[in-house]
Structure 1
Amino acid sequence: MLNNKNISLRAFEESDAETVRAWRFAPQNYDYFYEFVMPNKIQNDAWFQNTLKKTSEINFIIETKDAKPIGMIALIDIDNRSQKCEMGRVLIGEEDYRSKGLGREIIKTILDYAFNHLNMHKVYCEVFADNAAALGLYKKCGFEEDGYFKQHVYKNGEFKDIVHLSIFKN
């Protein structure tokens, strides 16, 4: 478990599957994920079980200090040889906890883990170009734009642009 002032990050557990599905596919969140078709419970359970088995990613549940699950975040495609990974699945799923300054704390916590525990040299992420809130948050946390991928993801009947960002270990 990773602890910080207001939040903790703990590994996914099997009992988190339905909560994660509810967060990921709530109407207010779904547009920010690459998925095109909303999975049913069986498909989500299969995805979740597969995710638990992967050795190249670590998925965390974000909890308040009183152990209330409020969101998720992950390190994906962990490449120990090149010392890089993707930060993804960043979501505060409980709306009451958004816009409270927790995003920076969550990202700083996972970056500290990536750089100082996993010995990563680079952490990168992708975000829809029209997601101004996420872009602003990532830049406040030190991420810099690497590139812009035009019409990179098909979502909601249109091709959407993606911004690729990264941050390096100091």
Structure 2
Amino acid sequence: MKIRPLERNDLPFIHQLDNHKQTMALWFEEPYESIDELTSLYDKHIHDNTERRFVIDLDGDFAGVIELVEIDYIHRTTEIQIIVRKKYQGRGLAKKAIREGLDYAFNMLNMHKVYLYVDVDNQVGIHIYEGVGFVKEGVMRQQFYANGRYHDSLFMGIFKDEVML
């Protein structure tokens, strides 16, 4: 498994992920994005230095995506987000990909802290994040709206000196 930069030819796979209602609910995002909209977003953000998007590549197959967004070069913080395709879940890819993303954030971008938001009910995700070293920092009540209701979100973070890659 490796991570590599997202390329234009990866967009059909991203489109599939973005149109999966249950997956997007975990990301607190609206599903059903058109391929044209996705292509437009790709073109708009390809040179945006506040985002880095990577493909989780498993022997040449698209296994998921990991993103560093809201990159702040003054405070040296960034948010990390991940989606692993359903058929690749349960293989430890999320932990490996997150470690790769953290390595990039801390050692290439010189970030001080990486943070994330996760639904308080997403126990699998919380377990993965804690296993990598993320620490629960607080609960944001009714932070996101998905699947017809508001969800509490757990805010988790990790500092560069806490990571064991």
Say yes or no: TM over 0.5. yes
CA distance in 2 between partners of 1:118 and 1:50 (Å): 21
Q: Deviations over 1:108-127 (max 9, x none)?
A: 11111111121111000001
TM-superposed deviation, 1:156: 1.5
TM-superposed deviation, 1:169: 0.8
Q: Quote the residue 2:156 is aligned against.
A: 165
Q: Runs in 1 of length 4+ with deviation above 3 angstroms?
A: none
Q: Quote the residue 2:65 is aligned against.
A: 72
TM-superposed deviation, 1:79: 1.1
TM-superposed deviation, 1:35: 1.8
Q: Quote the residue 1:31 is aligned against.
A: 25
Q: Quote the residue 1:92 is aligned against.
A: 84
* Consecutive unaligned residues in structure 1, runs of 5 or more: 1-6
SS of 1:74 mapped into structure 2: strand
Q: Return closer, same or farther for 1:78/1:31 CA change in 2, 3 Å cut-off.
A: same
The alignment's TM-score, normalised by the length of structure 2, stands at: 0.91
Q: Quote the residue 2:141 is aligned against.
A: 150
SS of 1:166 mapped into structure 2: strand
TM-superposed deviation, 1:83: 1.1
Asked if the contact 1:36/1:156 (under 8 Å) is kept, the reply is: no
CA distance in 1 between partners of 2:31 and 2:134 (Å): 30
Q: Which residue, 57, 62, 68 being the options, matches 1:63?
A: 57
Q: Quote the residue 2:42 is aligned against.
A: 48
Q: Deviations over 1:117-162 (max 9, x none)?
A: 2111100000111111111100111000111011111112111111
Letter in structure 1 aligned against 2:72: D
Alignment RMSD (CA, Å): 1.4
Is 1:19 the equivalent of 2:13? yes
Q: Quote the residue 2:2 is aligned against.
A: 8
Larger helix share, 1 or 2:
2
CA distance in 2 between partners of 1:120 and 1:37 (Å): 30
SS of 2:141 mapped into structure 1: strand
Quick one: percent identity of the two aligned structures?
A: 29
CA distance in 2 between partners of 1:56 and 1:21 (Å): 22
The alignment's TM-score, normalised by the length of structure 1, stands at: 0.88
Q: Return closer, same or farther for 1:159/1:28 CA change in 2, 3 Å cut-off.
A: closer
SS of 1:54 mapped into structure 2: coil
